[in-house]
Structure 1
């Protein structure tokens, strides 16, 4: 099989601020796997959490080094390819780009969208949340009002963990609530920005505000503090930065209520499947999230969305120049279409990377 890679830069309509900083642009990688006249597409998006930051330059170098080593494989060899990538200690975002491309190739080969190939029910897909970054109360209100001008808002994720402290968090959330649709589900993501004491205090205050759940209240590395918070919190706790793959789930099962699966962390759709079933076996809820992903990756995650209790796949909706079109918004839900594979097309009609090289 032949593999091609093209970097592309996307710009957010509104920069997103979380407890760790602000992001306005991202340079991602478009990966194309070609075999038997069929091209499968995948994406690698950079992110900074974990033992090694997965920077665009590092991801690109790994992919370019892998291209000749993978030329003798075919898309039918997914298990062998997975073993090879694990042995090569390939970063998870690189594995994701290849795994998603191979799934896209298979769906196109058999002429079925992935959700149908897997026998899933799109009617089970719940609303995807729109994200409000850390800002002033006035800016947070305006951001939600802007979201309501562009899509149906049935779920809202508010980023807290402000460096200014929990009083600032509370003021911002109250401002968002003042303009939120009455029936919208609100959740909180602190991105590890609170101490244990702050997390306990905020969990009780947020419960009084009718919040649905709290995501990643404590920083990655503080998992030993989660049992105490688990006992004290009246709200369900989800982890994101603390959970990368299925191997992380059993040791978290006694201290959280759910996990956030992101394709870039997990290594692709294959590992996302394992995480779904491991989490369910451990009695945990499931959500899907994203980084600065385009419609390509969010569409890939949307094919597994019928399994999710909560969804946060809105990053592409905040891009000014997303090069891809895939899953569509329907009544606040991100729904994969009926086209084979991922059902993703290039916005400008491009179907090959060759003329970009």
Structure 2
């Protein structure tokens, strides 16, 4: 019989984290576990307002369904995901956390690292970027000077986007990715994108609102920069449309509901010749470590949640600058609590 446990945290950011959708100083997060005998699998769900992901609601649902979850006979992570998908409709963040724990536990039962259970080898691992939120130019300069990094992601959509990018570029020649979080109109994008090309930006993430399909088709004709879908590609049913309008998709476990659907989305995108970014919802070590096991499938990594937070819960993935590695000799996800 499974043993379900969870604990809620309210983790402070090192710096206030501002994107086009708002500013946060703390990240509420729920770390949960599924135990079976001496083994324990871990998962994590964060609270994100613009996705209607609320921890209080998740906890109510966990308690309401505790008996059903704990009595589930774990016979494979894919089947467990389908069980959760029907048990907790409309709750991708919570399903993802339980799905993470299920995969972690199943990999331990099979005495394999999670990536090996999926059929991957730990090689060709992309460097992760480091995200800088919307801020004034001097603050951006100081952040870059204080944390030299080979790749930055700069949040945009705050009204002074080019000034912010010029400030960043004034102190670094590192690769730069920009993420507007749906914050631009097509007319704004037409004005900004040529300057992004001039300032040697690597890619653009979600420039327009996810529903502005005609705008995206028009924008794609105006730039050579790769455009990556994020909010526009939440779950499996969104992939086909995004493959027509974007150069790649940002896979987030919480957004799509866990590893099980994420793998299907990744395979579809790769088959179509598109790029894969792996990103998070400001998860701490647990969520970031589980996600990191998919890195052999990725072209771009945006797994910097633990770097943005002042406090970390647990141990798992290891950062050597922008390089991510996993604990050696551990089965499952390799998380220590």
Counterpart in 2 of 1:35? Answer: 36
Contact 1:49/1:241 (<8 A) preserved? no
User: C-alpha displacement at 1:121, in angstroms?
Assistant: 3.2
Name structure 1 gaps, 5 residues minimum.
347-357
Larger mean Cα displacement after TM superposition, 251-260 or 324-333:
324-333
Is 1:131 the equivalent of 2:121? no
Is 1:172 the equivalent of 2:187? no
Matches within 5 A, 1:208-223: 208-223=198-213
SS at match of 1:40: strand
Aligned residues: 334
Alpha-carbon distance in 2 for matches of 1:102, 1:146: 39
Matches within 5 A, 1:211-250: 211-250=201-240
User: C-alpha displacement at 1:317, in angstroms?
Assistant: 0.9
Q: CA deviation digits over 1:29-86, x for unaligned, max 9? A: 1111112331111111122334xx1111112222222211122212325344323322
Counterpart in 1 of 2:292? Answer: 302
Matches within 5 A, 1:171-190: 171-180=163-172, 182=173, 184-190=174-180
SS at match of 2:131: strand
SS at match of 1:102: helix
Counterpart in 1 of 2:14? Answer: 13
Matches within 5 A, 1:45-194: 45-50=46-51, 53-88=52-87, 89-148=89-148, 153-162=149-158, 165=159, 168-180=160-172, 182=173, 184-194=174-184
Contact 2:77/2:103 (<8 A) preserved? no
User: Residue 264 of structure 1 is aligned with which of 254, 257, 270?
Assistant: 254
Counterpart in 2 of 1:343? Answer: 334
Alpha-carbon distance in 1 for matches of 2:288, 2:102: 16
Contact 2:81/2:260 (<8 A) preserved? no
User: C-alpha displacement at 1:322, in angstroms?
Assistant: 1.0
Is 1:327 the equivalent of 2:323? no
User: C-alpha displacement at 1:211, in angstroms?
Assistant: 0.6
Name structure 2 gaps, 5 residues minimum.
none
